[in-house]
Amino acid sequence: MRNKENTQLQKKDEIKVKKQAFREKNIDKIKEYERTYREKNKERLKEKKKECMICECGCRITKRSIKRHQATKKHIDLMNKI
Ligand SMILES: [Zn+2]
């Protein structure tokens, strides 16, 4: 029983060491990947920010701010004019 546990522990350590070795060996690749991932995410966030739409009052707004926009005087005034 003890032996089995030991073997399992050893295997765990082996995996840990292997992972670490892999990371060290590929640190440049990993760094590059992480940088690309961050860049991609930045682009995606920018795209999300750009998500524009036209409100029923004719104002250009982002989807995210529609609720806030619809509570503004500008929107209410414009809607009253229609
Ligand atoms: Zn509006």
Spell out the domain ranges in the chain. 1-50, 51-82
pTM over 0.85: no
The predicted-structure confidence for 11-64, as pLDDT tens digits, reads as follows 999 999 999 999 999 999 999 999 999 998 888 878 777 788 999 999 999 888
* Centroid of ligand 1 to alpha carbon of 12 (angstroms): 59
Please list, in sequence order, all residues whose beta carbon lies within 8 angstroms of the beta carbon of residue 56, skipping any fewer than 6 positions away: 79
Say if residue 55 is exposed, middle or buried (CB neighbours under 10 Å; 0-12, 13-18, 19+): middle
* Centroid of ligand 1 to alpha carbon of 76 (angstroms): 7
Contact between residue 59 and residue 49 where contact means Cβ atoms under 8 Å apart:
no
Phi first, then psi, for residue 61 (nearest 5°) are: -140, 165
R_g (Cα) of the chain, nearest Å: 27
Residues with beta carbon < 5 A to ion ligand 1? 55, 57, 59, 75
The predicted-structure confidence for 51-65, as pLDDT tens digits, reads as follows 889 999 999 998 889
* Centroid of ligand 1 to alpha carbon of 51 (angstroms): 16
* Centroid of ligand 1 to alpha carbon of 66 (angstroms): 7
